[in-house]
């Protein structure tokens, strides 16, 4: 009974945190914060971090970490832009070519995740070191492909994916990227809860040695985990491309910290074996609301970084207390 109560409180914690942060700005921020359009704005701003956080959640539950996701997003935007630029030329892009360009961006990021997973599994190097190295490698590749400048492929329907209000003035109109975030979150929640793969991920993160004794192919599962994280990060890179409308090799610098923060704030444990994609979505929303509210009040970016850092420390501290109690 006590364990069930602890589990319920742990699951509700991120939602309580979101409500608390929102209430603070509800009274402290100007009237613009209260508007429906602004609510759509911070939902839209949570899309890129949120989708990448869904993939990061799976990695962290499995007892790993991926520091390369920010660089991966930059590489994905450059790949999408370059493919779109070379495929269309001076012709109208239509529907298919932007879709293929976006698919190429997702595929490149999935390949990067596959490489990280193989190195971690076969060479037995700790994920922190592998992905720290990949962070530098992928950023360098992105800059090389883009010739250290931005890549502008011109207009396409991808530009509208992150349009905050596609139908101006309509209360029901919200960016398609938000619906994609919600759909992927629900899909991954189902995968983790109802499939054998999901059970293997939790088992590996809880106790890798026991998982091996139970017959789980730990190395192969870990490769799939990092590949899946890469693919979802690729989707996030397409959302970043849609927001910027160009490929930028310097995009998402430091975003890996926000992505990891979203997972930790949402209840994920850096010790592995615990986490929730719904909690990570709430964590991404908390970060989006914090940045949105701070910008409206006029709080500098460096102060926002300090606040988010303190929240991360508090979330990890609470996780430690929960495990020690």
Q: What is the pLDDT of residues 89-108, one digit of tens each?
A: 666 777 889 999 999 999 99
The CATH number that domain 30-324 falls under is 1.10.3470
- The residue ranges of every structural domain in the chain are 30-324
Q: What is the pLDDT of residue 322?
A: 67
Q: What is the pLDDT of residue 40?
A: 92
Q: What is the DSSP string of 203-226?
A: HHHH-HHHHHHTT--HHHHHHHHH
pTM, entire model: 0.93
Q: How far apart are CA 109 and CA 98, in angstroms?
A: 17
Q: Number of C-alpha atoms within 13 angstroms, CB side, residue 177? A: 31
The label of the residue with tokens 């997973």 reads 117
Tokens describing residue 231: 């693919």
Q: What is the pLDDT of residue 9?
A: 56
Q: How far does Cα 262 stand from its chain's mean position?
A: 8
Report the candidate in 221, 67, 90 with the shortest Cα–Cα distance to residue 137.
Answer: 67
Name the DSSP class of 158.
Answer: G
Q: What is the pLDDT of residue 169?
A: 76
Q: How far apart are CA 28 and CA 50, in angstroms?
A: 26
Interhelix angle 47-61/69-88, rounded to 10 degrees, is 130
Query: Coil, strand or helix: which one is 119?
Result: helix
Query: Coil, strand or helix: which one is 149?
Result: coil
Q: How far apart are CA 148 and CA 163, in angstroms?
A: 27
| Interval 35-75: pLDDT, tens | 889 999 989 999 999 999 999 999 999 999 999 999 999 99
Q: What is the pLDDT of residue 2?
A: 52
Q: How big is the chain by its Cα radius of gyration, in Å?
A: 20
Q: Could you report the average pLDDT of every consecutive run of 10 residues in the chain (325 residues)? A: 58 82 85 88 94 97 96 97 82 84 96 97 94 96 95 90 86 90 96 95 94 93 97 97 94 92 90 91 92 88 83 76 66
Question: Helix, strand, coil proportions of the chain in percent (round to 5)?
Answer: 75, 0, 25
Q: What is the pLDDT of residue 204?
A: 96
| φ, ψ for residue 288, nearest 5 deg | -65, -40
Q: How far apart are CA 75 and CA 1, in angstroms?
A: 48
Query: Coil, strand or helix: which one is 67?
Result: coil
Q: What is the pLDDT of residue 3?
A: 56
Report the candidate in 139, 86, 87 with the shortest Cα–Cα distance to residue 112.
Answer: 139
Q: How far apart are CA 5 and CA 7, in angstroms?
A: 5
């Amino acid at each position: 009974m006590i364990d069930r109560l602890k589990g319920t409180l742990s699951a509700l914690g991120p939602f309580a945190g979101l409500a608390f942060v929102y209430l603070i700005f509800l009274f402290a921020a100007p009237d613009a914060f209260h508007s429906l359009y602004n609510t759509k704005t911070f939902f839209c701003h949570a899309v890129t971090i949120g989708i990448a956080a869904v993939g990061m959640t799976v990695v962290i539950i499995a007892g790993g970490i991926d520091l390369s996701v920010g660089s991966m997003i930059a590489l994905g935007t450059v790949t999408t832009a370059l493919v779109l630029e070379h495929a269309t030329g001076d012709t109208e892009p239509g529907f298919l070519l932007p879709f293929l360009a976006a698919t190429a961006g997702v595929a490149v990021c999935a390949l990067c995740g596959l490489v990280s997973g193989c190195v971690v599994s076969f060479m037995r190097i700790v994920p922190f070191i592998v992905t720290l190295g990949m962070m530098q490698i992928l950023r360098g590749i992105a800059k090389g492909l883009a010739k250290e400048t931005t890549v502008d492929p011109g207009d396409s329907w991808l530009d509208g994916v992150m349009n905050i209000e596609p139908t101006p003035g309509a209360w029901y109109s919200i960016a398609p990227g938000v619906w994609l975030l919600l759909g992927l979150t629900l899909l991954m929640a189902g995968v983790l809860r109802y499939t054998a793969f999901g059970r293997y991920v939790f088992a590996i993160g809880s106790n890798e040695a026991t998982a091996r004794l139970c017959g789980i192919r730990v190395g192969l599962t870990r490769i799939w985990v990092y590949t899946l994280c890469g693919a979802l990060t690729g989707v996030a890179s397409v959302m970043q491309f849609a927001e910027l409308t160009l490929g930028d090799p310097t995009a998402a610098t430091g975003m890996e910290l926000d992505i990891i923060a979203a997972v930790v704030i949402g209840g994920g444990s850096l010790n592995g074996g615990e986490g929730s994609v719904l909690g990570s979505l709430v964590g991404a929303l908390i970060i989006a609301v914090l940045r949105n509210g701070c910008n409206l009040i006029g709080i500098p970016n460096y102060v926002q970084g300090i606040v988010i850092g303190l929240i991360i420390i508090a979330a990890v501290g609470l996780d430690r207390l929960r495990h020690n109690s």
